[in-house]
Amino acid sequence: MIWRAVILLVLLPTLCLAQDFAGHQASTLDAVIEKWNGITEAYKPGISVLQPQKIRFVAILQAAPEPCSNAPLDAVLRMLGATDLLRQVSVTHCVVLSSAKGKAVAAFVQDLLVPGLNSDAKPGHHVEIYADFLAYVVDADRSRNVPILLVSRFEPL
């Protein structure tokens, strides 16, 4: 009986972090950028934090995951009141994705996905990305506007 309780305690964090990927709205990276360029057209440069949206889209993986600073992600999560997320899910890597129209976007990747991305997804090839769209960066040079994404799943195509 005790060993069952120990197993449950070990698996509980995994079960709590499990996600239902069926709820991710299908889109394209270009559509997300175009929609938010319209919404933020009159905004001054800065970060526009929004109600997080679960999206999925196909993009081209430009390179293998690289270590990156999660400071922008941490700032957005603090604004959203989700400060505990980075303690529950390690995020120390980013990937660069390209849209169908060639727009490059860096996305934060949960560290548990990094080994799979390195072994299963090939740079220059298409991947289906499941991500939380958390905020939109508005730049003075509007061509540099980009979403802040946290990748929680990928499927090589």
Residue 113 lies in a domain: yes
Q: Each residue of 108-129: b (16+ CB within 10 Å) or e?
A: bbbeebbeebeeebeeeebbbb
Q: Which domain holds residue 69?
A: 20-156
Structural domain total, the chain: 1
33-56 average pLDDT score: 93
Q: Is residue 1 part of a domain?
A: no
Q: What is the pTM of this model?
A: 0.83
Query: Nearest Cα to 123, choosing from 102, 154, 95, 153?
Result: 95
14 found inside a domain: no
How many Cβ atoms are within 10 Å of 11's Cβ, its own excluded?
10
2 inside domain = no
Q: What is the pLDDT of residues 55-90, one digit of tens each?
A: 999 999 999 999 999 999 999 999 999 888 888 889
Establish if 39 belongs to a structural domain: yes
Look at residue 9 and tell me whether its pLDDT is greater than 90. no
